[in-house]
């Protein structure tokens, strides 16, 4: 049976905007409203069955031309060619202003301006991941595969359907991605020397590493889960990161990018964020199907406060020369940041909007050793590009379990460690990155190299060292009194150090210890002792010694199987 060519011409042989619009609507095209505000920009889409497909004006023109071409026969050649030519020549502005902006509007809340369209959403207690062969429903107690003819068959955006078939894993195998993620948490212990040249043995899987891995798993689960009851930005950072120095190559960006296999991901170059309009236009690429906004490679100049309103409020999407789109906070994408720097800001407003995950240096060391991820001693193949069906299934099932962990326990804090120290130093230094880095370096390295943990140092001498290394411009704002107060604030709040441990009390005055200097004058004397210093007289006993008991890496993978 032959079908008639779409009637798109008026009685004078010109394209009719009304007939084009009616033809598009008959084939499922419309406009999607993200809010009930009729003045805001809408998205063009096409509904095919229960699937919603994003379209641009150019895509719609292409669809119209192809639809006409599909009716081509020798008998209809002239008619088809004429119509195709007219559609191709129709100006973009005319197509949008005369046709597309008059398409029927749809939204998730029915108003006088739009028709109600039910779009499938995650709930607070359930997460749904759609595959070709069904819908995976995840709760804190169960993971099951449901058919599409179940009660969970509301309209879904095309990008949310994963073009693979899934099988719920019952054997608890640990896949390649899970191994990669765990190794990304591992930290070098320089006190361990390998007699057989295997550098990986100096990266033990300690309780701290496992705690950071659980924090990472909960963060992955949070980002996959589409419900916004909790509104935080997940930040992946290097354990070795400082406020001014750059590190990288530890796997954090790859882990964040892996989430695009679950949800639509918009990648934004962090170093370009403030250029060309900054946060005003940064999110112009957001679509209704976008589930994650990933700001990658954020520099140390990045001001996290610029994201406050986006993280805990509605999301404004604005392109240059276009109307705004408002995505309500209940439906907006989640935020993730990857950075090589410790970002400034350590107050409650920052803390309640952030979830930090600290990555170790295992994969950076692998790079230094000229060993690739796909080397047999590591994973044996490249992630994703060389995955077979089994690898993909293990990857997705790992994600399901991460969601389940999040639904059970929420976002889990990591072991803290070096990152906690850096945040304390940042606060003590008044968010001055150079001074914060100096404090960290002195306490972790220079203090030991100069034997100050044994002999101590006069306050005036330490201040002179501070000024000589950071320059006289620092001295203009940081006199000796301010410097000593900041150092005491950092040391006293840190769990790794103690200020003049032979003195009782908790204030700078309580901890005051005077010694006679080389000029015969009694001066303030400072001795900062660390919990891991090799000083037999140190009164500090490490509370984390049991925490860092070494475990064989493969035995931990075995325990993952037993505990799953």
pLDDT in tens, 512-564: 999 987 788 889 999 999 887 865 433 333 333 444 444 445 555 555 545 44
Q: Are residues 369 and 463 in the same domain?
A: no
Beta bridge partners of 434: none
Statement: residue 332 has pLDDT above 50: yes
The pLDDT of residue 279: 63
Q: Are residues 447 and 356 in the same domain?
A: no
Q: Are residues 249 and 296 in the same domain?
A: yes
Tokens read off for 250: 């530890």
Phi-psi region of 216 (alpha: psi -120 to 50; beta: other; left: phi over 0): alpha
The pLDDT of residue 1: 39
3-state secondary structure 512-561: CCEEECCCCCEEEEECEEECCCCCCCCCCCCCCCCCCCCCCHHHHHHHHH
d(CA 52, CA 306): 32
Q: Is residue 335 part of a domain?
A: yes
Confidence of residue 340 (pLDDT cuts 50, 70, 90): confident
Percent of the chain with pLDDT over 90: 51
**Please, where are the H alpha helices in 274-321?**
308-312
- Which residues make Cβ contacts (< 8 Å) with residue 85, sequence separation at least 6? none
The pLDDT of residue 181: 97
Q: Is residue 488 part of a domain?
A: yes
Supply the range of the domain harboring residue 476: 419-530
Which strand (E) or helix (H) includes residue 366?
helix 362-368
Q: Are residues 215 and 360 in the same domain?
A: yes
Statement: residue 407 has pLDDT above 90: yes
Q: Are residues 92 and 191 in the same domain?
A: no
Is the torsion defined by CA of 441, 444, 445, 451 positive or negative? Answer: positive
What is the average pLDDT across 224-231? Answer: 94
Q: Is residue 141 part of a domain?
A: no
DSSP summary character for residue 446: I
Statement: residue 11 has pLDDT above 80: yes
Q: Is residue 159 part of a domain?
A: no
Q: Are residues 377 and 479 in the same domain?
A: no
- Which residues make Cβ contacts (< 8 Å) with residue 542, sequence separation at least 6? 531, 532
d(CA 401, CA 385): 23
What is the distance between the terminal CA atoms of the chain, rounded to a whole angstrom? 58
Contact 72, 84 (CB under 8 A): no
d(CA 499, CA 457): 12
Statement: residue 186 has pLDDT above 60: yes
The residue out of 96, 116, 136 marking a domain boundary is 116
Q: Which of 220-224, 420-424, 434-438 has the highest mean pLDDT?
A: 220-224
Q: Are residues 247 and 373 in the same domain?
A: yes
Lowest mean pLDDT segment, chosen from 28-32, 213-217, 344-348, 464-468: 344-348
The pLDDT of residue 549: 42
The pLDDT of residue 152: 54
Mean pLDDT of the chain: 86
Q: Is residue 359 part of a domain?
A: yes
Q: What is the pLDDT of residues 483-516, one digit of tens each?
A: 999 999 999 988 889 999 999 999 999 999 999 8
Q: Is residue 9 part of a domain?
A: no
Lowest mean pLDDT segment, chosen from 168-172, 329-333, 398-402, 534-538: 534-538
Q: What is the pLDDT of residues 351-395, one digit of tens each?
A: 788 999 989 999 999 999 999 999 999 999 999 999 999 999 999
Domain count, the chain: 3
Q: Are residues 264 and 194 in the same domain?
A: yes
Statement: residue 221 has pLDDT above 70: yes
d(CA 526, CA 511): 9
Q: What is the pLDDT of residues 232-271, one digit of tens each?
A: 999 998 877 666 656 678 999 999 999 999 999 999 998 8
The pLDDT of residue 306: 85
Q: Are residues 460 and 485 in the same domain?
A: yes
Lowest mean pLDDT segment, chosen from 2-6, 22-26, 371-375, 512-516: 2-6
Q: Are residues 246 and 358 in the same domain?
A: yes
DSSP summary character for residue 276: T
The pLDDT of residue 536: 46
Angle at alpha carbon of residue 175, lines to 214 and 238, rounded to 5°: 45
The pLDDT of residue 125: 96
**Helix and strand element counts for the chain (H, E):** 19, 22
The pLDDT of residue 280: 67
Q: Is residue 226 part of a domain?
A: yes
What is the maximum span of the chain, computed from C-alpha positions, in angstroms? 112
Q: Is residue 350 part of a domain?
A: yes
What is the domain-level CATH number for residue 197?
3.40.50
Angle at alpha carbon of residue 358, lines to 353 and 364, rounded to 5°: 140
Overall size of the chain counted in residues: 564
Q: Are residues 65 and 196 in the same domain?
A: no
Q: Are residues 60 and 98 in the same domain?
A: yes
DSSP summary character for residue 163: S
Q: What is the pLDDT of residues 131-162, one digit of tens each?
A: 999 999 999 999 999 988 755 557 888 888 99
Tokens read off for 156: 């879904």
């Amino acid at each position: 049976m032959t079908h008639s060519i779409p009637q798109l011409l008026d009685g004078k042989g010109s394209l009719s905007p009304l007939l084009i619009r009616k033809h598009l609507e008959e084939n499922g095209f419309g406009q999607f409203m993200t809010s009930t505000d009729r003045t805001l920009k809408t998205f063009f889409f096409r509904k095919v069955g229960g699937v919603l497909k994003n379209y641009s004006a150019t895509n719609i023109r292409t669809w119209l031309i192809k639809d006409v071409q599909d009716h081509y026969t020798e008998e209809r050649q002239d008619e088809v060619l004429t119509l195709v030519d007219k559609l191709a020549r129709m100006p973009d502005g005319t197509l949008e202003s005369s046709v597309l902006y008059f398409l029927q509007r749809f939204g998730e809340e029915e108003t006088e301006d739009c028709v109600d369209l039910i779009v499938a959403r995650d709930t607070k207690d359930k997460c749904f991941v759609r595959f070709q062969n069904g819908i995976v429903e995840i709760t804190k107690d169960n993971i099951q595969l449901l058919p599409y003819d179940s009660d969970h068959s509301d309209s879904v955006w095309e990008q949310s359907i994963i073009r693979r078939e899934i099988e719920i894993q019952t054997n608890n195998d640990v896949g390649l991605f899970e191994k990669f993620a765990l190794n990304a948490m591992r930290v070098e212990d320089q006190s361990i020397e390998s007699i057989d040249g295997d550098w990986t043995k100096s990266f033990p899987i300690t309780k701290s590493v496992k705690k950071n891995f659980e924090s990472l798993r909960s963060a992955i689960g949070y980002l996959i889960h589409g419900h916004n009851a909790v509104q935080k930005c997940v930040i992946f950072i290097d354990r070795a990161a400082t406020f001014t120095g750059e590190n990288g190559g530890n796997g954090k960006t790859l882990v964040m990018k892996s989430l695009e296999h679950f949800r639509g991901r918009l990648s934004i170059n962090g170093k370009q964020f403030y250029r060309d309009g900054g946060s005003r236009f940064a999110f112009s690429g957001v679509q209704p199907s976008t589930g994650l906004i990933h700001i990658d490679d954020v520099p140390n100049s990045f001001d996290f406060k610029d994201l406050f309103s986006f993280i805990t409020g509605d999301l404004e999407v604005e392109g240059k020369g276009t109307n705004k789109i408002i995505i309500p906070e209940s439906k907006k994408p989640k935020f993730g940041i990857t950075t090589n720097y410790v970002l400034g800001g350590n107050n409650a407003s920052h803390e309640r909007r952030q979830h930090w995950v600290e990555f170790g240096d295992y994969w950076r060391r692998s790079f230094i050793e000229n060993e690739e991820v796909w080397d047999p001693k590591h994973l044996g193949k490249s992630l994703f590009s060389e995955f077979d069906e089994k690898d993909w299934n293990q990857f997705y099932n790992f994600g399901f379990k991460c969601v389940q962990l999040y639904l059970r326990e929420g976002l889990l804090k990591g072991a803290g460690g070096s990152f906690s120290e850096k945040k304390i130093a940042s606060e003590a230094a008044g968010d001055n990155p150079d001074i914060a880095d100096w404090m960290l370096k002195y306490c972790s390295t220079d203090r030991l190299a100069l034997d100050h943990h044994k002999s101590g140092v006069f306050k005036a001498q330490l201040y002179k060292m501070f000024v000589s290394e950071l320059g006289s411009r620092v001295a203009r704002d940081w006199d000796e009194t301010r410097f000593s107060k900041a150092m005491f604030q950092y040391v006293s709040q840190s769990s790794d150090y103690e200020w003049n441990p032979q003195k009782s009390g908790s204030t700078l005055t309580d901890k005051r210890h005077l010694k006679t200097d080389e000029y015969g004058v009694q001066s303030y004397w400072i001795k900062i002792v660390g919990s891991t210093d090799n000083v037999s007289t140190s009164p500090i006993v490490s509370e984390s010694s049991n925490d860092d008991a070494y475990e064989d890496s493969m035995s931990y993978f075995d325990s993952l199987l037993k505990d799953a």
